[in-house]
A and B are shown apart, each in its own frame.
Chain A
Amino acid sequence: MRKRRLPDETGIFIVLVAVLAVFSILSPNFRTIDNAFTLLVNGTVIGFLALGQTFVLLTGGIDLSTGANIAMSGVLVALVMQAGVPWPIAVVIALIAATSLGVVNGLLIHFVRIPPFIATFSTQGVALAIPLIITGANSIQVRDIGFSWIGQGRIAGVPVPVLLLLIAAVIAGFWLRTTRQGVHVYALGGNKNAARLAGVNIARTTILVYAISGFCGGIGGMIVTSRLMVGFPATGTGNELFYSIAAAVVGGISLFGGVGTVLGAMIGAVLIAAVSNGMNVLSVQSYWQSLVIGVIILVGVSFDTLRRSRSGRPVFAKRASGPNPPPTASPPTAPPQPITTPSTTESR
């Protein structure tokens, strides 16, 4: 859909290759096939969250509830299996619940007009509390051994979660490029008003992206519970959400909406997983990980912001439209002045 001489993902891909090269040189343990799979499997949860986050970020929103969704759906699937329901049905039920959380986010954001940050911040709290309340903070054992296939199985030597993520990412990327609804996601994030006037169904698109994000959080919950064979109510409270946003953003998904690809976000997820895994292998204290990843987010967002302001759309529109007096322009004794010239004068 977007023809460029060099794909936008080239930059982040080079960074990934460089990071992998550095870790491989530093540690012989890092460059083993086994570790590669460990890295990827550990990365799948972040990858799924980042995938869902990609849809939401493309519309200019954000989903803070997806980490909590891991805990909610992960405990729910364990509880349903404990009640004697076969694991495939339990998985379907848990995924429906996870998707519903996303739908609620979308409804709150579109119809109640709560800003995405606040809406998903609130539902995050709710989604974190539900499993703790139901289980009394106890873990729920999973006895249905079939369920372990999701997180621990292998097909032709490749771990199942990695395959699942691959399939999901391919479908998602394809969907965004080749369906009407996919194009609408970009249009909504690029310019909501223009999208509306061009006939884009804003309500449906908004609800859909949050539902997809919820669904992806649910898959993350399945993988976590399946790997541990325990529904653990305190999962998802850690770095998953943080890492997933980092992955999407360093992968070139604009926090302002309308720009980015699934491929970029997935490379970003592998990069984050590699940094995390590499530091483990090198026995760096785990406290350093979020520091490093925090810096990665900052760098990614700074690039995004600069790119945006350079493309002629000021990031700080209000400041740009009305020149502010420099602090030295008036006597220091003068009290601060209210805005006497609204920035809207340009429109007249």
Chain B
Amino acid sequence: MTTEATAPGLLVDSISKSYGPTRALSDVSLLIRPGQVTALIGHNGAGKSTLLRSLSGAEVPDTGNIRIDGVALQLAVPRDASDAGIACVYQELSLVDQLTVAQNLFLGHETVNGGLLSRRQMNKTADELCAEYGIAARAGDLISSLPVAQRQMVEVVRAINQNAKYILLDEPTTALEQEQVDHLLGIVRRLSADQGIGVLLVDHKLDEVFAVADHIVGLSGGRVVLDGSAAEVDRAAVIEAIVGDHAAAAASVEDIVGDGVGETSLDSVETVSEAVRAREFGRPVLEASGIAGNNLFGIDLTVHAGEILGIYGLVGSGRTRFLRTVYGAFPLGEGELRLLGEPFRPTSPRQAIKAGVAFLSEERKADGFVPQMTSIENVVLPVLGKYIRGGILRWRALKGSAEDVLSQVSIRGDVSAPITSLSGGNQQKALFARATLQAPLLLLLDEPTKGVDIGAKREIYGIIRALADEKNVAVIVVSSEEEELTELADSIAVFRGGACDGVVYPRSSVSAAQLRELAWAETADRV
């Protein structure tokens, strides 16, 4: 793309970035043109976040550079990017909730008159900006009193007010209702068309992409796999490109796009009925029906004793939220959970543990273990109640049991030292030892091999398999890695946009590419 090196616009010129042995971006080039909307689409881990971080100065690429109108930029820190006129609006907004709309719009750029803030003028400008962009808020409103959509728009307007020429929007519509989505996309459109601002829109929903984008860039495995004008590429090509496996995708994509029938169109994918699963595995352990509320929109799912049920979906599709709801860490809104046929409404993890549910967090460090405690202490923490005589803990028995389960998962490292002294994989194995010691009916695993090396990954698969086969535990595994699910799970369900219809695919009939397609296709068709 060096021929475009002097083209007007924000040019990403063949950048690469590696984290250790993983290549997050390889030789990525794309051009964000002034006055146009460029949509960036890609799967989990395709490199979108790394690209955004590189553009916003939060990350420095290993090779390649970023240019504006042909001039190379040095983006070492976020400040450099904003000085160059690049603003990034993340899902987690950077507004100050306790300040007003006007104060946020002018934060760091306050209008000063003789050493004093000229509040009246700032409020006036803020009101004008709100009116201009159709934000239903007034200058004096607190950010905390606004709905999410309005906050997002305030942040976009702030970027423009502070002379941003290029705006990067990271999945701005995920938390919005349809009406607000339309409004936001309308603003995006106007920004680029009227004000000549170059917009990069990261979005998972193809409808939105086609509604608003001039150009579409697809990333897969850190490479640009699609770069074209929105008028020229069709959905089939987009899905094919980002799903990655061209052969497998090509067969069925036609159908999806052709008549928009979604689910039934993936002809080669079989589903497995509840009756068959009930025969093959044990009795149903967890039955969820119509779980909704807290950004979940209807989840039906059943898992049986001895079954490993994989849950696949894009990041943000409600997988983690569902697991945590079952574990009592999030309140259950609507719908019903049944554990062994009995109604189950846990209001705290403690209750879920008592009922025989174990859970492994995706974020080990944030809420998986207590770092100051030894591996042994961490392992026994949930089961202390079972080892009490006369109010006194039987530490010898506890230690014996802990060492027993820790040796079952073959931990390498000192289990009597703080757990933080172990490697990531061994920490995770220690948490599996903890789950084993709980002897659960139902084990909930959220990205169980995240940040774990390949060797430990194998061992963890073995541990999960053994729990299901030998201890007859019902296991639910949430994963973003298709291969992990097709290898590990007996059956796989797909979450889309906070919902799951209870359709389950047997591992044997679904490929990694088809899983991706299922996650994408129906998101795209959902209006």
Contact = CB atoms under 8 A, between A and B. Distances in A.
Interface of A: 1-3, 177-180, 183-184, 186-187, 190-191, 193-201, 258-259, 311-313, 322-325, 329-330, 334-342, 344-345, 348
Given A178-B393, A194-B367, A187 B77 contact: no
B87 interface: yes
B79 A344 contact: no
B90 A345 contact: yes
Given A197-B327, A340-B56, A345-B58, A313 B371 contact: yes
Given A186-B372, A199-B350, A336 B76 contact: no
A283 to B, nearest CB: 43
B58 A341 contact: yes
Contact of A338 (B107, B348, B361, B420): B107
A197 B359 contact: yes
Q: Which of A183, A198, A329 has the most CB of B within 10 A?
A: A198
Contacts of B170: 348
**Which 3 A-B pairs have CB atoms at the shortest separation, nearest pair first?**
A193-B367, A190-B370, A341-B78
Given A193-B366, A258-B372, 4 more contacts: A186-B373, A337-B79, A340-B79, A342-B92
Contacts of B88: 340-341
Given A180-B384, A183-B377, A345-B53, A3 B416 contact: yes
B373 A322 contact: no
A183 B94 contact: no
A183 B369 contact: no
Contacts of A335: 108-109
A338 B94 contact: yes
B78 A340 contact: yes
Interface size on B, as a range, is 35 or more
B77 A325 contact: yes
A88 to B, nearest CB: 26
Interface in B378-397: 381-382, 384-385, 388, 391-393, 395
Interface in B63-120: 76-83, 87-88, 90-94, 107-109
Contacts of B353: 198-199
A342 B88 CA distance: 10
B381 A342 contact: no
A313 B384 CA distance: 27
B368 interface: yes
B378 to A, nearest CB: 8
Nearest to B363: A347
Interface of B: 49, 52-53, 56-58, 76-83, 87-88, 90-94, 107-109, 158-159, 162, 170, 327, 329, 348-350, 353-354, 359, 361, 366-374, 377, 381-382, 384-385, 388, 391-393, 395, 416, 418, 420, 434
19 contacts: A2-B374, A179-B391, A179-B393, A183-B384, A184-B384, A194-B370, A195-B370, A197-B359, A198-B349, A198-B381, A312-B371, A322-B78, A329-B79, A330-B79, A338-B94, A340-B79, A340-B159, A341-B56, A345-B52
Nearest to A321: B58
A334 B349 contact: no
Contacts of B83: 330, 334, 337
B349 A259 contact: no
Contacts of B366: 193-194
Contacts of A2: 374
Contacts of B384: 180, 183-184
A338 B108 contact: yes
A50 to B, nearest CB: 20
A114 to B, nearest CB: 17
Contact of A200 (B109, B350, B420): B350
Contact of B82 (A178, A196, A258, A340): A340
B382 A198 contact: yes
Contacts of B367: 191, 193-194, 196-197
Contact of B420 (A196, A199, A312, A325): A312
A340 to B, nearest CB: 5
Contacts of B57: 341
A342 B53 contact: no
Q: Which of B93, B368, B370, B391 has the most CB of A within 10 A?
A: B370
A197 B79 contact: no
A110 to B, nearest CB: 13
Contacts of B416: 3
Nearest to A191: B370
Contacts of B77: 323-325, 329
Contacts of B58: 322, 341, 345
Contact of A325 (B79, B93, B361, B373): B79
A15 B57 CA distance: 48
Nearest to B95: A338
Contacts of B327: 197
Contacts of A313: 371
